Amino acid sequence: NCGECGEENCMAFAVKLVNREVPLELCTPLIKEEKYAESRRKLEELLAPIVKEVTIGTGSRAVKVGGKLVMYRHEFTYHNPTPIAVDVTDEMPIESSDPAEETLMGRIRKIEEFTYNYIGRDLSLDMVAVRSTSGQPFRFKSTVEMVVKNTEMPLVLCSFDPDVMEAGLVAAQGRRPLIYAATKDNWKEMAELSLMYDCPLAVFAPGDLSLLKSLTKTLLEYGVEDLLLDPGTFTGDGLSDTINNFTMIRRNAFKAGDELLGFPLIGTPITAWLDEKAQKEDKAWKEAYVAAMLMSRFADLLVMHSLDGWVQLPVIIWRFNLYTDPRKPVSVEPGLKVFGSPDENSPLLLTTNYALTYFTVESDIKRANVDCYLLVVDTEGISVESAVAGRYLTADVIADAIKQFEVEKKVNHRFLIIPGLAARLSGETEEALGGEWRVLVGPKDSSGIPEFLSKRWPPEKES
| Side chain identity, residue 284 | A
Residue 97 DSSP label:
S
Are 352 and 446 found together in one domain? yes
- Specify the number of domains making up the chain: 3
Domain stops at, among 253, 287, 322: 322
Question: Is residue 70 in some structural domain?
Answer: yes
The answer to whether the CB of 261 falls within 8 A of the CB of 252 is yes
Q: Show the domain range for 92.
A: 53-322
Interior angle at CA 144, CA 138 and CA 149, nearest 5: 125
Q: HEC profile for 288-330?
A: HHHHHHHHHCCCCEEEECCCCHHHHHHHHHHHHHHCCCCCCCC
Question: Is residue 28 in some structural domain?
Answer: yes
Question: Is residue 110 in some structural domain?
Answer: yes
- Residue among 218, 397, 324, 147 at smallest CA distance from 157: 147
pLDDT in tens, the chain (463 residues): 788 888 888 899 888 888 888 888 888 888 888 888 888 888 888 888 999 999 999 999 999 999 999 999 999 999 999 999 999 999 999 988 888 889 999 999 999 999 999 988 999 999 999 999 999 999 999 999 999 999 999 999 999 999 999 999 999 999 999 999 999 999 999 999 999 999 999 999 999 999 999 999 999 999 999 999 999 999 989 999 999 999 999 999 999 999 999 999 999 999 999 999 999 999 999 999 999 999 999 999 999 999 999 999 999 999 999 999 988 889 999 999 999 999 999 999 999 999 999 999 999 999 989 999 999 999 999 999 999 999 999 999 999 999 999 999 999 999 999 999 999 999 999 999 999 999 999 999 999 999 999 999 999 865 4
Are 145 and 250 found together in one domain? yes
Are 176 and 306 found together in one domain? yes
> What CATH number does the domain containing 397 carry?
3.40.50.11600
Are 41 and 57 found together in one domain? no
**C-alpha radius of gyration, the chain, whole number:** 27
Q: What's the rounded Cα separation, in Å, for the pair 241 and 233?
A: 9
Q: HEC profile for 411-452?
A: CCCCEEEECHHHHHHHHHHHHHCCCCCEEEECCCCHHHHHHH
How far from 135 is each of 41, 307, 351, CA to CA, in Å? 45, 25, 59
Domain stops at, among 322, 351, 378: 322
Are 201 and 223 found together in one domain? yes
Are 79 and 39 found together in one domain? no
